[in-house]
Amino acid sequence: MFISFEGSDGSGKTTQIQLLADHLRAAGRSVLTTREPGGTRIGDGIRQLLLDLAHTEMHARAETLLFNAARAQIVAEVIRPALAARITVLCDRFADSTLAYQGYGHQQEIAELERLIAYATGGLRPHLAIYLDIPPAEGIRRNRGRADGDWNRLDAQELSFYQRVETGYRQLIAQEPERWAVVDATRPRDEVHHDVVQALQRKLPALSQSL
């Protein structure tokens, strides 16, 4: 199974992925966790380019192409081989992030992005996308208050940008509700984790049989 976690920075994706991975492993599942952009040597190099605050002049099209270059590499090198070995893959962001951020956020043509994504992934899509739902302003507040102080170029956007991203996610969810699970991420982490597990049991019965 291939499961992606989506939502704004500050929504708790990294924490919830680790909690779910631990839960699945305790139930006897083989699990791989990874992230976008990154997850490979090439992808990590691209990640550094994308996050560097020195690259403020980066055009939205260049940003989009870099994300999808990293995505093509992780699909070929990591995700497809893991799925072929019957390993459950949990990914911090996948193609829906490009549609929400580079599409709705940067207001690029969605149809063009969908064609680019299809080429980068070879048509691979998550069986389930878990959207950790948090108001954009709260996500920004949490992100700026992180103990690691890891502020980067992708964080340096106005609130209106993140509001467009949120609108984009909601439109994507409305178009394919069967492929999404929406979880209220404003609550304590254990409550969020409980709902993530419940969402898996509802949406992916083949996986939840072992839970």
Domain 2-208 architecture: 3-Layer(aba) Sandwich (3.40)
- Residue-range domain boundaries for the chain: 2-208
Strand partners, 5: 92, 130
| Phi and psi torsions of 158, nearest 5° | -75, 160
| pLDDT, tens digit, 9 for 90 and up, residues 116-140 | 999 999 999 999 999 999 998 898 8
The C-alpha angle with vertex 49 and arms to 97 and 166, in degrees rounded to 5, equals: 20
Give 72's contacts (C-beta < 8 A, 6+ positions apart): 119, 120, 121
Say whether pLDDT at 209 is over 70: no
Nearest to 130, CA basis, from 194, 44, 60: 194
- Predicted local confidence at residue 148, as pLDDT: 57
> How many alpha carbons lie under 13 Å from residue 111 in its C-beta half-sphere?
0
First-last CA distance in the chain: 14
Q: pTM higher than 0.85 for the full model?
A: yes
**Between 187 and 54, where is the model more confident?**
187
Give 140's contacts (C-beta < 8 A, 6+ positions apart): 8, 10, 159, 162
Query: How far is residue 26's CA from residue 59's CA, in Å, rounded to a whole number?
Result: 44
> Across residues 30-35, what is the average pLDDT?
98
> Across residues 43-70, what is the average pLDDT?
94
Q: How confident is the model at residue 144 (pLDDT cuts 50, 70, 90)?
A: confident
Taking phi first (over 0 means left), then psi (-120 to 50 degrees means alpha), and beta for anything else, what does residue 32 get?
Answer: beta
The enclosing H or E element of 119 equals helix 110-121
Nearest to 207, CA basis, from 14, 21, 18, 36: 21
